Amino acid sequence: MPSPTLSLSAARTLHLAAQQLLRPLASPPQRHHLLEIIRAMGLLQIDTISVVARSPYLVLFSRLGAYPPSWLDEALAQRELFEYWAHEACFIPADDFRLLRHRMLAPQKMGWKYNAAWHQQHQPEIARLLEHIEQHGPVRSADFSRPSGSGSGWWDWKPEKRHLETLFTLGQVMVAERRNFHRVYDLTSRIMPGWRDDTDTLSEAEARREMLRRSARCLGIFKADWLPDYYRLTRVPLKETIDSLLAEGEILPVSVAGFTAPFYLHHSLQPLCRHLQQTRLRSTVTTLLSPFDPVVWHRKRALELFGFDYRIECYTPQEKRRYGYFVLPVLQRGELIGRTDAKMHRKTRIFEIKQFYLEPGVTLGPQRIRDLTQAITRCAQWHGAEQVQIGEVPEALQPHWQQGWRCGTQYAILQDDD
């Protein structure tokens, strides 16, 4: 039986459905929705930049709408999630500890995340720190003073912070909770009291295959070379895995108009795929995305699937930035139509759209303008803003947005400095 040929629009819809961006929630979010969303995405990347809500909270807002950010903190503290290196540093469902434990037990494969020389050189101090945690309970790096001044840069960490990061990568301590987004570390043996490495840990080969299988589900529809990036896998037996997943019926071959390379569809999306072949169904979600949202974090995939050329510029020197410091992609009904450099001014409760850019060829009709205005308003309200302030925007938007508008608050995302 020949594989179906899908339009590019249908492929986008299938991917957004897998990423929980097909429809807004029909009713106000409940706490269980947060865990369901994270399980569907597989992981939730962490970043500490807070010019708007920190990335993991914003990724969830794009899917849940207005929800209390404390839900994420509670899920971590209640052991429903854990933190480790997955795509990058991520919140991960607690049941997936077995997927990543092999990385902790073979830290020499973790690259810059594990400094073997530091570990070897400071073994006595690290052992004393472990003993301190065992006797006195969880710690933060802030609990230890820097003896020689305030330091001179991002990576000029005090020794105890480097010790804790080493122990974290080794899996000997875990993040028990976050306070004002600062990590609180406790012994892994206390957080995972029933865990046994000899019986519970997947082998590296088993874990990598399972991560590729999870990636197929989380992407929904994909080209083979998109698959390894989701969990940052390298040197994987990709063809062998694809052939195995096809044989098991986990994925199905499809074609996408305009591409010569084969695509694959996760079996869970078969009913939606059949529906899309008969209708013009598309996503109805309009929202601002985090720069670290799975939809855009793989630059090649975002370009090929959405025609959206996106680079995260917050780590780029200011003079080399094209769009701004923390630029949020704009998703509107199945398309990435623009991006905005935004900032939440928490003291004055102003949500500022410093600049707004439309993608080439995007036109502005009444519905699109209404969708964009409502999406910005919802995001501002969730941040606790009382006012949306507008800076530089395309000429066609100026009569509609002018200098901004007032909005009611919902959840105040007021965060302490890192």
pLDDT band at 410; cut points 50, 70, 90: low
- The residue ranges of every structural domain in the chain are 286-406
pLDDT of 306 reads 98
pLDDT in tens, 377-399: 999 999 999 999 999 999 999 99
pLDDT in tens, 73-106: 999 999 999 999 999 999 999 999 999 999 999 9
The CATH code of domain 286-406 reads: 3.40.630
Distance separating alpha carbons of residues 317 and 368, to the nearest angstrom:
33
Q: How far is CA 192 from the centre of its chain?
A: 24
Which residues is 253 bridged to in the sheet? Answer: 264
pLDDT of 413 reads 53
**pTM for this one?**
0.93
Query: Which comes out higher in pLDDT, residue 418 or 354?
Result: 354
pLDDT of 108 reads 93
Distance separating alpha carbons of residues 290 and 59, to the nearest angstrom:
6
pLDDT in tens, 8-52: 999 999 999 999 999 999 999 999 999 999 999 999 999 999 999
pLDDT band at 415; cut points 50, 70, 90: very low
Place of tokens 């006195």: 136
pLDDT exceeds 90 at position 155 = no
pLDDT exceeds 70 at position 113 = yes
pLDDT exceeds 50 at position 358 = yes
pLDDT of 343 reads 97
pLDDT exceeds 80 at position 249 = yes
pLDDT exceeds 50 at position 417 = no
CB 383 within 8 A of CB 52: yes
pLDDT in tens, 166-223: 999 999 999 999 999 999 999 999 999 999 999 999 999 999 999 999 999 999 999 9
